[in-house]
Structure formats: structure tokens, C-alpha cells
Amino acid sequence: MAFSSSIMDSTSWVDPALEALSLPLGRGADFSELYFEDNVQTRLSHDGSQISASSVTHMHGAGLYLMSGTETRYGYTNGTDAASLRRLAEGLGSMVPWRVEAPVSTVQPVTEITYEPANPILRNPDEVPTADKKAMLDQAIAIAHAYSPKVVDAHADYQDRMQDVAVLNSEGTFSRERRVVTTLRFFVTVSDGVKSSGNWTNYSFAAGFEALDSEEALRQIVEPTVQTALDGLVAKPIKAGYMPVVVDSGTFIHEDCGHPLESTHLKGGVFAGLVGQQVASPLVTVCDGGVIPGYVGTNAMSDEGVPSATNVLIEDGVLRNYMIDRLGSRQLGMPQTAAGRRQDYRFAPVARMTNTYVRRGTTPTEDIIPSVDYGLYVREVGGGNVDPVTGKFNFLASSGNIIEHGELTDPISNVNMSGRSIDALKRVAAVGDRYFRDTGALCGADSGLIYVTAFMPRILIDGMQVG
């Protein structure tokens, strides 16, 4: 069934929305915004031998965001009729007193923009026969078992999402966009009869079904997933200590400086007030932007209706900008950067990443590992966390090897790396000359789970705490 929604196909909901936007402006708020969303998600689950579940979900609702200065409120409803919107606006606007009540204002005349899709879609998921999706999952499972007889369980989820969003605010913004995401999650457990090891990966694409519609595409997802689990069976402990670390995974930059550069976390933070100062090795340039076609962080606009653009955060080691949402713009007195993002209408937007990357350097990638006498090579970062205020981070290297005398030796599994953002950035001693592939993933933070990418060339950090 072809996806259609009232958001893109009509404007009958706009007048009730404008009325709802106007109500809080007379009760202390100086800004109001409604975020409308209609999305349809389909999902197929493969339990390893057959399709075990199939579902379709229709989400529909609106979130109301109010501001008075830098004070904010958020509420949502999935009743999008005039009465439901009015009830939400009246309730949220007067539930508790505002600290500073803004003078009464009015909604500005709106200018409508309907964006063309930011990403090319060759095979719309809703036009792909279910049989093709089933066959893709069967093939993925088969690839796992063919790769290793030690696979004792392999299962997978396929999911696609057709999402229409509209942002309507009291400053006259009325912007609409359709977004498509296709995802394969793959889970594997391996055993050698004595030990077991597991791994899972999430690959999300701002693309249609074509992203998964070839054996080669599936191999690139499944085989590394299985290999990481197999490495877990033979992984050796690494001697804990402070040592050089070589990293291929963009998750490192996402955690190390991505989150701390979000305006949401700037207050008192490690990067606060450092614009124009050296915060990284001169070899490091870090950018963020939802403008790379096909990358899952790419959209035509932010979830606050700001057109997407590339944002240079750190240039040759010097801090140039932050990722700034509307609230951050008010707090910092700096322009918004299309960073306001949210999982869905149930979340207020906050400054988040889109596609975050380190620009390529000049060191031949193949020369980096041979330059290390003893250290850790990190192929995949399985996850991690950072305190965005202090910059203190903790990552889990889920896949990689020990480096001894310039060569990769024993595989490692689930090794902790820890440090501080700026310290690690300043210790970048080499940046490789080609990028490593990004998988597209979900990032969880204050405004829920959003799709992001993070990628970079191989980098060498000359010292980090490991283990």
C-alpha cells in the first residue's frame, strides 16, 4: 500500500494548528511550535529458520514546544483535531507559572516550504513485495551460516520507515518533508562447544530497499558481524595501561567530541567558551551536517524546520562552532545550525548530531599500524558513553587486535578505553588518507533515538588508557 499522509497531502490541519500556536502566546510564552508527524513502519523478524513476525505501525501525532526566554515546556498528543490541539495548548501553557511571562504576541504569517526528499530512493519500501524482503532475510541468515559452522543462532530484523514531518511555528515557519529509512539488524551467537560469544549490528540507510538488495550488500553487513563474534571466542586480554590506540570507527569521534559539542550540553562543559582556541591536534578537522545523500543522518531540514547545512566544528584543531538548536541559540546568542532533532513527535527537539566525520588526512592508511610498537587497534567501537560536560568518556572496543611490533596479533573483545575529550583529540598523531565505511546507527540521548552516521579515516592516538 502506497504511503500517504494528511501532512503532505493536505493543509486542512494548518488553521487549527495556528490557533493552537496562538493560545500560549497570550499566556506567558514568547514562542510556540507544533511538530506534526505521520509515519508508517513495517517490520519483518526472522528467527533463524523462518519469518516469525510481521508488523505495520502507523504513528500519528503532534508535539507542542513552548518557550519564554530560555524556559521551555513540551507536550504531545495523538489527537490532532482542533479540540485536542487546543486542550494541549491551554493545559501546557498554564499548568504552572512561567518564571518570566513574555508580553502577549501573535503568530507571524506562515511561509510554506515543502522540501524535495534529501536522499535518492530507488525502491520505495512500500512498493517492494514482502516476498523480496523475506528472501533478503533468508539470504542474510544463510550467509552467516555459510561463513562459519560455529554459528549457533542467527536472526535478523528488517525495518523500513516512511515518515512525513511538518514544523509550524509562531515565527512563520511552515516546512514539510518526507523521509525514508531502511534498516537491517543482525544478531549472531557463536560457540566452539566450550565458550559462547555474541554480537549484533544495526545498519540503517537513508535509502530504499536497494540498500539491501544484493548479496554483496548483505555480505558487508553479516560477515563482519559474525567475525566479531568469532573473535570473541579466541580473544586475549590486553595488558592494561596507557598506550597508543589506532581507531577506524567513527563512533569514537561521535562520543569523544560529538556529544560535548551539542549546545544542549555546553553549560559549564569542557568546550564551553573555547571557540577560536586550539582543542585538538592541528591534524583534526571535524564536521557535522545532514547533507550527504544516502547517509542516514541526512534530511532536508532539522526537526525545528532549519535547512540542513555542513557545520565545521573543529578546523585544523581550532574550535569553530557548536551544534546549536533553537534553545541553544537563545542561551548562547549564536545562530542555529540545523541541529534540533528528535526521535518522533513525543520528544522535544534538542541539539544532536547528523552525519559527523573527521576529514581525511595525508598519512597513508597502511602506514599507521606499522608505526606502533605496542598498542591497541580498534576496528569497531561497540558503544560507549561520554559525560558531555566534563568530556570524560568510556568506550568499549568490541572488535580489534593487539598491535605488537607494528603488526596485528591477537584479537581482543570488549576492551574498555577511557579518557577525556580534548586530551584524546590533542593526542591525534596521524590521520589516514581514506575513510572507513559507516554503518548508520541509532543514537540515544535526551530527545530519544535518532538516526546518525559517524565516520572517519584511520587515526592514531599516541596515548590512551586501555583496560
Partner 1 sequence: MTDVCMQLAGLARKHGVPGLELEEEWSRTQEVTATEDGSLGCSSSELAQRYVRTAGDHVGYARSEDASEPLEDLAARAVAEAGAVDLSDPAGMLARPRVGEAGAGRNPELEEADVAAMTAMARRCVGRLTDVAGEHSTIECMVRHYACARRVSNSEGLSRLAEHAHYMVRMTYIAFGKGEQHWVQCRSFAPSLDDVDVTELVGRTKLAGEASLDGGTVETGDYPVVISRDVMNQVLVGMWSVFGAEKVATGQSFLAGKLGSRVASPALGLAETAEPAFGGPGCLGIDCEGVVHGASSIVEKGTFVRPVSNLEWAVKMGLPSSTANANRRDSLGRIVPNDVFTAPGNLYVVPGTEDLDGLVAKAGDGVYLTDISDIYHSFSFASGGVSTPCRGVRIRNGKLAEPISAVAWSDSLQSLFANVVACGNAVAWFDMEDLGALWCGSPDVLVSSMHLAAAEL
* Residues 340-399, interacting with partner 1 (CB under 8 A): 343-344, 346-347, 382-385, 387, 389-390, 392, 394, 396
Tell me: does residue 448 bind partner 1 (CB under 8 A): yes
Nearer to partner 1 among residue 263 and residue 308 (C-beta): 263
Q: Which residues pair with 59 in a beta bridge?
A: 39
Tell me how far, at minimum, the Cβ of 335 lies from partner 1, in Å. 26
Question: Within 13 Å, how many C-alpha atoms sit on residue 286's CB side?
Answer: 35
Q: Which residues pair with 312 in a beta bridge?
A: 287
Nearer to partner 1 among residue 292 and residue 378 (C-beta): 378
Of these, 4, 22, 27, 60, which contacts partner 1 (CB under 8 A)?
60
Tell me how far, at minimum, the Cβ of 433 lies from partner 1, in Å. 31
Q: Which of residues 300-339 bind partner 1 (CB under 8 A)?
A: none
Stretch that binds partner 1, among 50-58, 204-212, 300-308, 402-410 (CB under 8 A): 50-58
Cα 42-384-211 angle, rounded to 5 deg = 35
Distance CA 202, CA 182 (A): 11
**Residue 3 in grid coordinates:** 504511503
Q: Which of residues 264-303 bind partner 1 (CB under 8 A)?
A: 268
Tell me: does residue 88 bind partner 1 (CB under 8 A): yes
Tell me how far, at minimum, the Cβ of 407 lies from partner 1, in Å. 26
Of these, 11, 22, 74, 406, which contacts partner 1 (CB under 8 A)?
74
The DSSP bridge pattern shows strands 51-68 and 71-77 to be antiparallel
Nearer to partner 1 among residue 249 and residue 308 (C-beta): 249
Tell me how far, at minimum, the Cβ of 240 lies from partner 1, in Å. 8
Of these, 68, 77, 228, 399, which contacts partner 1 (CB under 8 A)?
77
Q: Which of residues 162-221 bind partner 1 (CB under 8 A)?
A: 187, 189, 191, 195-198
Tell me: does residue 69 bind partner 1 (CB under 8 A): no
Tell me how far, at minimum, the Cβ of 187 lies from partner 1, in Å. 8
Contacts with 72 (C-beta within 8 Å, 6 or more apart), sequence order: 65, 66, 327, 348
Distance CA 399, CA 414 (A): 7
Tell me how far, at minimum, the Cβ of 198 lies from partner 1, in Å. 4
Tell me: does residue 10 bind partner 1 (CB under 8 A): no
Tell me: does residue 130 bind partner 1 (CB under 8 A): yes
SS3 125: helix
Tell me: does residue 47 bind partner 1 (CB under 8 A): yes
**Residue 140 in grid coordinates:** 542474510
Distance CA 226, CA 318 (A): 40
Tell me how far, at minimum, the Cβ of 169 lies from partner 1, in Å. 18
Tell me: does residue 61 bind partner 1 (CB under 8 A): yes
Contacts with 306 (C-beta within 8 Å, 6 or more apart), sequence order: 336, 337, 338, 340
CB atoms within 10 A of CB 132: 12
55-61 contact pairs (CB < 8 A, 24+): 59/344, 59/345, 61/36, 61/37, 61/344, 61/345, 61/346
Tell me: does residue 134 bind partner 1 (CB under 8 A): yes
DSSP string, 292-326: STT-TT--SB-TTSPBP--EEEEETTEE---B--H
Q: Which residues pair with 113 in a beta bridge?
A: 175
Tell me how far, at minimum, the Cβ of 416 lies from partner 1, in Å. 6
Nearer to partner 1 among residue 353 and residue 464 (C-beta): 464
φ, ψ at 264 (rounded to 5°): -55, -30
Total residues in contact with partner 1, by rule CB under 8 A? 77
For partner 1, what does the binding mask look like between residues 94 and 123, x meaning CB under 8 A? -xxx-x------------------------
Nearer to partner 1 among residue 203 and residue 432 (C-beta): 203
The DSSP bridge pattern shows strands 196-205 and 71-77 to be unpaired
Tell me: does residue 259 bind partner 1 (CB under 8 A): no
